[in-house]
Amino acid sequence: MSVGATWGKILHVDLTTSKIWTENPPDEIYLKLVGGRALEAYLLLRDLPVGADPLGPENLLIFAPGVFQGTNLPGAGRHSVGGKSPLTGAIGSAEAGGWWGHEFKRSGWDALVVHGQAKSPVYLWIHNDKVEIRPADHLWGHDVAEVEDAIRSELKDEKLRVSQCGIAGENLVLVANVINDYSRAAGRNGLGAVMGSKKLKAVAVRGTKNVLPTDRKSATALAKWLGDNYKTLAAWAHDKGTPGGLVGLNENSALPTRNFQDPDFPDAMSIGWETLHTSVLIGRDTCQACPIECKQVVSYDGQDYPDSPAFKTQVKGEVTLNKVYGGPEYETLGAFGSSCGVNDIVAVSKANEWTAQWGLDPISTGMTIAFVMECVDRGLLTAEMTGGYLPKWGSSKDMLEGVDMLAHRRGFGDIMALGSKRIAAWIGNGAEQYLVEVKGQELPMHEPRLKAALGVGYAVAPVGADHMMNIHDTGYSSPGRGLDRVNTVYKVGPMPSTKLSDEKMNLFYHEVNWQHFQDCAICCMFYPYDYKQLAGALSAMTGHEYDAQDILDVGERAQQLCRLFNNREGFTEKDDRLPKRVMQAFKSGPLEGVEITEKALHDARQTWYGLMGWTPEGVPTKERLDQLGLTELLETK
């Protein structure tokens, strides 16, 4: 193998036939795609029949680290999971932190592709070159921590790592995630339901092989630079983590409130970092080889917190919090808190715990409950329709009951498990106008009216609304790290966060390619690396020279392949849209009068299509595919 930090081996397992085999891809696959999302899209295009049922045996479930995994590069404690999404019908691709990806790569494989469906529950045990399909009937129906602990005990190895579908995935909940290391999740697109449909309860891995960079000296130099600078350049993540910005976003009308209806959440302080820090927070956690420690860990046994500035709870004495499942991030605080009008840090933390315990995407789960709350508020849902579940804005207990019902498909939870778009179709009577989704996936907790290009990113992301394969305009409205990174390729200055322009879309084009590259290599997007640094890292790992433009081309290849997949599954320009609610201006607050017009969205989208080398209808051209070296790759079977 002539590509460093790779093994030249992809593991295939067919659960229908119990066949296990090895694929040895050509070097070109690694050099052009690197891993992660680009590799997932390539394999899906190559091996998945057009129109395949996402929950049928033909769908593939792909676990794909990248070149960086297993090397101890700071920020590489991640891996990707892919397949055809049962929530959207489009490509599904989601990333998880933790240790599983590192351990899998050290077992001697570059990816795992799961085919077929088992007749009864199974789990995979991958210990270096040893691969087993083992019965998992005794694990089915158990919570995430119970399953992980049971597998460690059964295999007598405390160092192995486990990725699994939770109870929600078993129940084919369309917003189920794939979760590893107790609390790290490939959270979006419903890939946990794909895992559950295959009767694949878990994948346990143990690797003892060294993944060696070709140029260890250069790789070590970058790691040292990060160690010397992360406390300054990633201070926000190190000091407070993702919850740190919640109150500030609320002050700018950018904290989604009551299903994106309201310009502010009056009780933002009650679910913000300050309250979290002075009440239920007991520590911080991290991922493999990461010094930043951005993850929250919480615990609660019913006590009061008189010194906490805005602590309040409706569920005192009714719930406790288990630290094994970590703690809430910003997305969870917004989805179960402000989006549902809930001001209760204990209840929101409990909802977060359940999403880990049962394997749910907290964003889509919280936003689905918020949508149901609005439909109840507007009289579109009655007790007769929901079996008596009529959740009200601000009710912690109603919100928590919704999470429980949805995960277990109990009562109206059987409908809620399908996601908000399908609920709206079931309700009818104009319910669609209150939806906040793209391609069937609910919006994350970031406001397009403040971040206009982010809104375009929601519209065009291949997986439906997503805040990671995207840009956040506020990071480019003044001099700083974001603009410094882009300026390593071309010169651009600050621009208003609420405006769309050709200049903004050119910035968007470069930065979204960068984000997709990081989901191929794979590296945490919270890290302060720039284009040249990761180009150098990829060169050091592989032994092949990459410059800044080369790695942006890797990100674009990922996008092109995802677009080809979605086009063949019937998605068109019409699906690259935004929900009306987040295009309409607020009537008060800092964003009063700020809107995204249909024309502005259309023009921005067309500008981006042009930059991507697509037709006005959003179809990749042969010329662009040729330029990126994809045509020949796709023709090779």
* CA–CA distance, 582 with 584 (Å, rounded to integer): 6
How many other CB atoms are there within 10 angstroms of residue 481's CB atom?
14
DSSP output for 22-65? EE---HHHHHHH-SHHHHHHHHHHHHSPTT--TTSTT--EEEE-
Asked whether residue 422 carries a pLDDT value surpassing 90, the answer given is yes
421, pLDDT greater than 70: yes
Nearest to 620, CA basis, from 539, 565, 545, 583: 565
Position 531: which residue type? Answer: Y
Closest CA to 194 of 94, 82, 48, 111: 82
The β-bridge partners of 360 are 176
Confidence band (pLDDT; 50, 70, 90) for 637? low
Tell me the C-alpha to C-alpha distance, in Å, between residue 356 and each of 165, 297, 323, 436, 461.
10, 13, 11, 24, 25
Measured in degrees and rounded to the nearest 5, phi and psi for residue 289 equal 60, 30
Mean pLDDT along residues 565-589: 98
Average pLDDT over residues 489-505: 96
> What is the value of pTM for the model shown?
0.98
Q: Which domains does the chain have, with CATH numbers?
A: 10-206 (3.60.9.10), 238-442 (1.10.569.10), 452-635 (1.10.599.10)
What values do phi and psi take at 362, rounded to 5?
-65, -30
CA-to-CA dists, residue 392 to 421, 471, 524, angstroms = 20, 33, 37
Q: How confident is the model at residue 163 (pLDDT cuts 50, 70, 90)?
A: very high
C-alpha span between 535 and 219 (Å, rounded): 11
Q: Is the pLDDT of residue 389 over 60?
A: yes
Do residues 250 and 445 lie in contact, with contact meaning Cβ atoms separated by under 8 Å? no
Percent of the chain with pLDDT over 90: 99
With b for 16 or more beta-carbon neighbours within 10 A and e for fewer, the 395-419 pattern comes to: bbbbbbbbbebbbbbbbbbebbbbb
* Other beta carbons less than 10 A from residue 518's beta carbon: 27
- Average pLDDT estimate for 595-608: 98
User: Mind listing the pLDDT tens digit for each residue in 83-132?
Assistant: 999 999 999 999 999 999 999 999 999 999 999 999 999 999 999 999 99
Average pLDDT over residues 520-544: 97
Please report, for residues 169, 242, 444, the alpha-carbon distance to residue 335 in angstroms, rounded to integers and kept in the order given: 20, 14, 8
- Per-residue pLDDT, averaged over 216-221, amounts to 96
> How large is the average pLDDT for residues 310-333?
97
- Mean pLDDT, rounded, of the chain: 97
**pLDDT (mean) for 135-143:** 98
Q: pLDDT band at residue 636, thresholds of 50, 70 and 90?
A: confident
